[in-house]
Amino acid sequence: MKDWNKSFFIEIFLHGLVMGTINKLPGISGGLYAIIIGFYDHFMISLKKIGLRNLLKNKSPKIFLSEINAFFLMTISLGMIVSYFTTSKILDYFLYNFQLQVWGCFFGLILGSVFLLMKKNR
């Protein structure tokens, strides 16, 4: 598994941007993107570690933030939030003005994702 740490800030942010945009697409989820890119497990493990029990178990907030990989989660979240105000607004424009072409693109993305996942599972 790739080490998603601070040195990958821009890459993590861009993945968050793409995830946020993809969440707006019908039939595709950000989770599917995370699986294809390869950080889904890391993302889910980090989310699972968030909790009061884990916070109380650690003596220091710094240790807790490190354990849940807060930098990774905050960077992904920031990218998703930024995408809501930028790329997803652009997507709304294209959905409204070029509906047929956008739906064709969505269908192609979904079909491509299926083939990519089938290839990855072999």
Q: Percentage of residues in the chain with pLDDT exceeding 70?
A: 93
Q: Kindly report, residue by residue over 74-113, the tens digit of the pLDDT.
A: 999 999 999 988 987 888 898 899 999 988 988 887 888 7
What's phi and psi for 2, nearest 5 deg? -65, 145
Are 13 and 87 in contact, with CB atoms under 8 Å apart?
Answer: no
**Cβ-Cβ contacts under 8 Å for 12 (sequence gap 6 or more):** 4, 72, 75, 76, 79
Q: Kindly report, residue by residue over 10-26, the tens digit of the pLDDT.
A: 999 999 999 998 888 77
**pTM for the whole structure:** 0.73
- Residue 1: per-residue pLDDT: 47
Query: In 3-98, where does DSSP find H-type helix?
Result: 9-23, 30-37, 40-48, 52-57, 61-67, 70-85, 87-97
